Amino acid sequence: MGRTRGFDTEQALDAALETFWVHGYDASSMPELCRAMGIQPGSAYAAFGSKRDLFRAALQRYARTVSSEAVLGLTSSPSGLDGLRSYFDDLVEAMVDGRRRWGCLITNSLVEFAERDPDLAGVFDLHLANLEAAFEAALTRAKAAGDLRSGAGPEQAKLLVAVVQGMNVLAKARPGRPALRSVADAALAGLVAAPDAPRLSDRCGYLQD
């Protein structure tokens, strides 16, 4: 009983998420967040607790939606190499045109918050570990299929995580598609390269455009 909530909590959370994503935590004031969410401070505090709690909820929503959707493309493909290619293709396009032009909320937050909120460290570590595990699985499948150069394997997963974090940083400088492609292509080239005998691999689309 009592008055029913006049706004959709998840929709409001998405609005806050985008504000945090674009401007960061400190640079997003409560008045601005409330404007984005379309509600008043009182409602925001009643629904979410505090600015920090709202941020935590937004981070977790991001991990559950945006981030895990991207990882899904990596794990769902039967071919490990195709999964890797499509992951990086989507990443580049989202950074040029889409929402990733503001980088990655988790990367941004890791940089902004690592020294401040130990509670959030768990969220960051979990996200990085998930990404690494997905890369590891894809690399294992790719290796089993004979798509990797000898010497390359699942132990390159940490490198790919670092490359993705680096691209998230570079994306904020709006470098344009060619520069981002160049990073992604070079990262994959280091894995699949058939250095002296190009015909070793029957999959050779990685330089296609």
Partner DNA sequence: CTCCTAACTGAAAGATCATTCAAGAATAGC
Partner DNA sequence: GCTATTCTTGAATGATCTTTCAGTTAGGAG
Is 10 a binding residue for DNA by CB under 7 A? The answer is no
Residue type, 141: R
User: Helix, strand, or coil here: 150?
Assistant: coil
Work out which of 7, 68, 93, 153 binds DNA, going by CB under 7 A: 7
Is 33 a binding residue for a copy of itself by CB under 8 A? The answer is no
Whose structure tokens read 């929503």?
61
The length of the chain is 209
112 binds, among a copy of itself, DNA, none (CB under 5 to 8 A by kind): a copy of itself
Work out which of 10, 11, 29, 162 binds DNA, going by CB under 7 A: 29
Q: Nearest Cα to 80, choosing from 148, 173, 165, 176?
A: 148
6 binds, among a copy of itself, DNA, none (CB under 5 to 8 A by kind): DNA
Nearest-5° Cα angle at 11, 5 to 12: 70
Distance CA 23, CA 34 (A): 14
176 binds, among DNA, a copy of itself, none (CB under 5 to 8 A by kind): none
| Cα–Cα distances in angstroms (integers) from residue 15 to residues 32, 67, 83, 96, 172, in the given order | 11, 17, 30, 21, 20
Residues contacting DNA: total by CB under 7 A: 23
Positions touching DNA (CB under 7 A) are: 1-7, 28-32, 39-43, 45-47, 50-52
Positions touching a copy of itself (CB under 8 A) are: 22-24, 26-27, 102-103, 107-108, 110-112, 114-116, 121, 124-125, 128, 149-152, 155-156, 158-159, 161-170, 172-174, 179, 182-183, 186-187, 189-191, 193, 195-197
